[in-house]
Structure 1
């Protein structure tokens, strides 16, 4: 398959009444009657998958779905109602404030090597658990830098120029084979997994869906531009040390060059990106628009909240010796060249 061609995936399997209704209506011509939103927990599977399905119309779309659904007014109203519920939940679950320096300092605090998913994998993880982690992250890394591109026309001056510089690296510095989304597809192949765009969407549960939906939510609204910058900064500030640990874990559990390379690529690049995001993007945005401080803090705190919820879900499942995915999938493939690893 030509790696530059991204075939559209089929519509996802529904996870409740609302997502079932939206999937069904998307099979019809644009303008068909759209369902209304119920009061379900905004962190639950059904509303999060519905949001993800609406957002995907702005990315690659789905096979056999009318392109005109992307800007259908009734579907946008449904999406707006879901967004309001998710935003209300996030706002209620983070402390808020406007002390950007304090939030950034917390991100820079070192973590223990035994903490979190990386700590579990390093201490007693298996190759299949590392593959499982890759499956979760696939729906994020397939669009890794795309939502941040929406904020570019909403910034000015040095903040815009600096963010574009980071994005240039994320998109491979002008080389398609080095786009980070492509590098993650190579990682999936190296791990013996399917590299296809959103191939594992149906297997990925709510905690990762929430994180990816948040990125799109922030990116698609000018009024949330500071939250998106805060999220982007939080990701870049914490990425380099995490990537170093995951590179070491991959060398042990799945030592295929593509698995290791994806993380080693991020060790140096994201250490630079951290400085750029802190000293040029955030600092310049605050200088030009001091009123964005609360939005920056919200973006950082919401990212931490959802990453922590994801980590708690995965570790709870692994400590109980069960899969953290929604459904059983093949996590081994005879085509892989990654070596046996620890099973």
Structure 2
């Protein structure tokens, strides 16, 4: 991914450090840590902080496909990992606060009753009570062509590397939950066919609307909340202690996917697009109806049955994604219904 434009002092200083040589920038790293500490003390809402979320997004990107012109050795530079941890700690705290508010007075089974079916029932109950603003209904009935493009831009930050954050959990699981996750991910990656990978299907949708399908092409255009949604996945996927959270995240992701994707596909069909564009959404209608059962019962439920102490983290991952998605939906609909763009900056209509 190309290094995006900085959004404040933290991201600006980070990109300056990354332009240097790993292992020879200790003074710059010390200065960056002091800067991060000072800026965080002045941050009122870390989830909506453009500078923090962009910096964290780019630090995580070093563990994925990397950043253009940044040496790979930066990935495990101890000083840079400490910077990432400085940003992660308050971000996780804010996510836990938002997740707790979303969970509310959820009726939970006793620890002795934490069977895989009981865990799945809790997660399905959570998914069913998701009553936040519906972007999918707006897309199906009202969205203009420009708003459809904006919708794809927001989604592209994750969808062009779809499934990767959840894959980090595979070596951290065993037995039934591991087999369940591998089964889900095999479908996400196209069952061995590159053209059927879900990221490739999404790229095809973007090309159908004349958009740039290169990963990260629109990072400069999306607001902090869109980056925070991806950073949540990376936080949970990259930290082994949060393996329960990433399974809960995936379970809710699958449980709340089928019907919205049906509506998304209808919205694109309403504008005259054919299966070449809608295939991505249509594929998820069928696939996620199966995945939700595997993710709820065998993955998340199987993990808690084997390690009951992880139930709280499973709930954290599930409720955190619901809280962030609700904020993102409110941003999109609030912008569109008031005749504004949901993006930070205008982008070309076509690649």
TM-score, normalised by the number of residues in structure 1: 0.90
Residue 254 (structure 1) shift: 5.2
Q: How many angstroms does 1:124 deviate by?
A: 2.1
User: Counterpart in 1 of 2:124?
Assistant: 104
2:286 aligned residue: 268
- Residue pair 1:136, 1:208 contacting (<8 A) in 2 also: yes
How many angstroms apart in 2 are the aligned matches of 1:299 and 1:93? 11
What is the Cα deviation at residue 331 of structure 1? 2.3
Shift of 1:121: 2.4
In 2: Cα distance, 1:42 partner to 1:16 partner: 13
Please give the alpha-carbon distance, in whole angstroms, between the structure 2 residues aligned to 1:230 and 1:65.
33
Q: Runs of 5+ in structure 1 lacking a partner?
A: 1-8, 334-343
Give aligned pairs, total. 323
Question: Which among 61, 65, 70 is matched to residue 75 of structure 2?
Answer: 70
Q: Is the partner of 1:86 in helix, strand or coil?
A: helix
Say which of 18, 37, 41 aligns to 1:26. 18
The structure 2 residue matched to 1:53, chosen from 54, 58, 63, is 58
Conservation of the 8 A alpha-carbon contact between 2:212 and 2:350: no
Give me the whole-angstrom Cα distance separating, in 2, the residues matched to 1:131 and 1:290: 43
**1:5 matched to which residue of 2?**
none
Q: Deviations over 1:100-139 (max 9, x none)?
A: 4334312035869xx5112222332101101100000001
Report whether the alignment pairs 1:15 with 2:20.
Answer: no
Alpha-carbon distance between aligned partners in 2 of 1:330 and 1:296, rounded to the nearest angstrom = 40
| Structure 2, unaligned runs of 5 or more | 109-118
Determine helix, strand or coil for the equivalent of 1:94.
Answer: helix
What secondary structure, in the 3-state scheme, does the structure 2 residue paired with 1:194 have? Answer: coil
Aligned match of 2:112 = none
- RMSD (CA atoms): 1.6
Q: How far did 1:257 drift?
A: 2.6
Of residues 119-128 and 187-196 in structure 1, the stretch that sits farther from structure 2 once superposed is: 119-128
Q: Indicate conservation of the 8 Å contact 1:191/1:254, yes or no.
A: no
